[in-house]
Structure 1
Amino acid sequence: MKYTLITGASSGLGREFAIQCARMGMHIVLVALPGGNTASLAEQLMLEYNVDVRFFEFDLTDADELEKRIDDILRQYPVNFLINNAGIGGTASITDTSLERIDKIIMLNVRSTALITRQLIPHMLRHERSYIMNISSMAAFTPIAYKTVYPASKAFISVFSLGLKEELAGTGISVSVVYPGPILTNSGTSRRIISQGLKGKMGLLPTPDIARKAIRMTLAGYPVIIPGLMNRISHFLMQLLPAGFKLRLVSREVKKEISYSI
């Protein structure tokens, strides 16, 4: 029995990854914060899809706890598919963002992704074929005012994944990086997207569609995955714009989200 490990699995895109993986017959290890109804999700998936689902609830920003709990998982379950999905963001001016919030974005989006991946690679090399899927964002393609740290963290995920893909070429581990557009993951995110009107909804896809496409293309070995035709067109067109103009254009639209942020 091989397992797929999914971080940030209790809600949003992570929850949908869990559902789609179970539907495909994969056994799953769910990792999420305490209090996210992860036990209920695990029970639901086991009953509906007849797969084995285990769950572990802990804070990925605690490096010592992360190392210990991941070691515990690897001693019990052979993981051949890692989905690094956990992440946080938000919209606010840098002076209105607390030091704790900035630190948490970096620790979760950047540090935990790198540490988990490093811990799992020796374990995954024992399998004939293994997969790593890292979740970046369309925000990784340009700096954005009023988000600043979030797109920088997602740019790290992008560069980290592509470098890792090259380093692990020929080893049996395939690395993919996914760049989702807007996702209606919670009430705060939904308000911000809706506030932008048609522009905010252009790249919007149903969460199950994003998860299905990302899983399918990762298993097929695609290194770069941009779900949604409009997102791919947007990425192509944005590459044609001068960097300064692109920065001002995107930042002006993002600034409108501030009043809708939690």
Structure 2
Amino acid sequence: MSSPKGTALITGASSGIGAVYADRLARRGYDLILVARNQQRLNAVADKLRGETGRQIAVLPADLNEKAGLAKVEAVLRDDPGITMLVNNAGIGSVASILQANVDTMEAMIDLNVTALTRLTYAAAPAFVARGTGTIINISSVVGIAVEALNGVYSASKSYVLSFGHSLQKDLAEKGVRVQTVLPGATATEFWDIAGYAPQKTSEITMSAEDCVDAALVGLDAGELVTIPGLHEEALWTRWEADRRDISPKFRNAKPAPRYGLASRSASAR
């Protein structure tokens, strides 16, 4: 029997945060479609969860950095009416500076962290709107705000996810689609092995993937638009967001600000 909650499609589901989302959502009663490159690891996650939860779990091996793989997942999101949730978790990072990092590697990071996430969201959103319900969870990072912390391209890609989420919330809020942007801090996953700084996994400031996802799902249940599991002082985010929204109308000026001295220059020219 299909789940009354529908099916959650999770990218990057073979390990780390994605695998924990798979576990938690299956236990909440969702059927799953698990997406990642490594079919063997996907099968292991799926077999374990089928045995423990009894949910229907499909694996969809795909490399989201390749057009064919990305198109395959887009088609499933567009065409499968049972999908009610998309978790855009797949991503890679780096700790290298612009003087150390390879630009082709950086382009591949943009392709996965930005382009794939965007295309999958564009595939899911119209289908969710047509059915009047759906949830999109996009995994950003605290470095989307603390942009100097790691590699600049990685930070910029996560800033994109945060900004994209704000826009999605504006566009979809009245159409029955929930959009949550999650900003994990340092989390104990293979991310750090790939990014080039494995010791971070055991740092005293590093959160477990289980705690990160559990907090994010509580935030989802509470209706949070942006969830930052490691930020204890919630008022700091509330103030940051209020200031951002307050400054936005103040950009609307046809003349440069007086501090640039262009008004006096124009007067003297006359």
TM bucket by the smaller chain? 0.7 to 0.9
**Relative contact order, CA 8 A, sep 6+: which one is greater?**
1
Structure 1 gap segments, 5+ residues each: 195-199, 240-262
CA distance in structure 2 between the aligned counterparts of 1:8 and 1:176, rounded to whole angstroms: 17
Q: Is the 8 A contact 1:131 1:219 kept in 2?
A: no
Partner of 1:10: 14
Task: Compute the TM-score of the two structures, normalised by the length of structure 1.
Answer: 0.81
Instruction: Say which of 166, 174, 182 aligns to 1:170.
Output: 174
Is 1:126 the counterpart of 2:130? The answer is yes
Q: Is the 8 A contact 1:3 1:27 kept in 2?
A: yes
- What amino acid does structure 2 have at the position aligned with 1:32? A
Q: Is the 8 A contact 1:61 1:112 kept in 2?
A: yes
Is 1:201 the counterpart of 2:209? The answer is no
Q: CA RMSD in A?
A: 2.4
Instruction: Say which of 57, 70, 93 aligns to 1:66.
Output: 70
State the SS of the aligned residue for 1:177: strand
Q: Is the 8 A contact 2:134 2:178 kept in 1?
A: yes
Tell me the CA shift for residue 192 of structure 1: 3.0
Tell me the CA shift for residue 88 of structure 1: 0.5
Tell me the CA shift for residue 233 of structure 1: 8.0
Q: Is the 8 A contact 2:91 2:109 kept in 1?
A: yes
State the SS of the aligned residue for 2:59: strand
Tell me the CA shift for residue 73 of structure 1: 5.5
Partner of 2:90: 86
Partner of 1:192: 200
Identity, in percent, stands at 30
Residues 175 and 66 (structure 1), Cα distance of their counterparts in 2 relative to 1, 3 Å cut:
same
| 1:118-169, Cα deviation, whole Å (9 max, x unpaired) | 0111111233421111000010003326511000000000000111101112
Tell me the CA shift for residue 236 of structure 1: 8.3
Aligned residues: 233
Residues 146 and 134 (structure 1), Cα distance of their counterparts in 2 relative to 1, 3 Å cut:
closer
| 1:192-251, Cα deviation, whole Å (9 max, x unpaired) | 354xxxxx533x322112112212322443101011344858868999xxxxxxxxxxxx
Partner of 1:247: none
| 1:25-62, Cα deviation, whole Å (9 max, x unpaired) | 11111000135510111111111001010111111012
State the SS of the aligned residue for 1:93: coil
Is 1:19 the counterpart of 2:23? The answer is yes
State the SS of the aligned residue for 1:201: coil
CA distance in structure 2 between the aligned counterparts of 1:156 and 1:125, rounded to whole angstroms: 23
Q: Is the 8 A contact 1:175 1:221 kept in 2?
A: no
Structure 2 gap segments, 5+ residues each: 242-270
Q: Is the 8 A contact 1:180 1:226 kept in 2?
A: yes
